[in-house]
Amino acid sequence: MKTRDFIVTRRPRLSALTRHPKVDFADYERRLQSMQSAMQAIQQAYLGTRERAVVVLEGWDTAGKGGIVRRLGWALDPRSFKVYPIAAPLPAEQGRHYLQRSRSHWADYERAIEDMLEQTSTRRAPWFLIPANNKPFGRLAAFTILIELLGKGLELKPRPLDPKVAELAKELFDLA
């Protein structure tokens, strides 16, 4: 699984997404745990820089956005990880199943998404299109993309402790 497999470089056809890979659950659990550790290291590296990141997850109801956010949240320090949910269903839509909400406008909605992806995906800020019929596959794909892009060029090893700070800690905690 490579990041380049999901990048939007031209107008996508959402209806043409028919490949929905599956992942063995034990393999998924093992890989996810490793990826969550990598995301922790990336988050810690960001805290030592002026760099910041914004991740936008866009997709239909039940596309798996919430599962990705939860698994990021389980791994990351909440003091520097914020979630801003947007575009909740309209009041008239809240009592209906998610498919019924969009059914009357499905073709228009699909075309609008394709337009948005085509017109706003850039080399510097690309969109990635992840088939998410298999949630474990979709989560691993999202983590793969995040790790590759957010970790690019970061020094993931912790910076050495300032000797003055170490000396003060020894004195403060009687660690002589």
Instruction: Write down the pLDDT at residue 146.
Output: 96
> What does the block give as tokens for 15?
């209806």
Instruction: Write down the pLDDT at residue 99.
Output: 57
Instruction: Write down the pLDDT at residue 42.
Output: 94
Number of structural domains the chain divides into: 1
What CATH number has the domain bearing residue 23? 3.40.50.300
User: Residues 81-118: pLDDT tens digits?
Assistant: 899 887 667 777 776 665 566 666 778 888 988 999 99
Gap between the terminal Cα atoms of the chain: 50
Angle, CA of 171, 175 and 176, to the nearest 5°:
80
Whole domain around residue 36: which residue ranges? 3-172
pLDDT at 147 over 90: yes
User: Residues 24-63: pLDDT tens digits?
Assistant: 999 999 999 999 999 999 999 998 788 888 998 888 777 8
Angle, CA of 75, 77 and 79, to the nearest 5°:
150
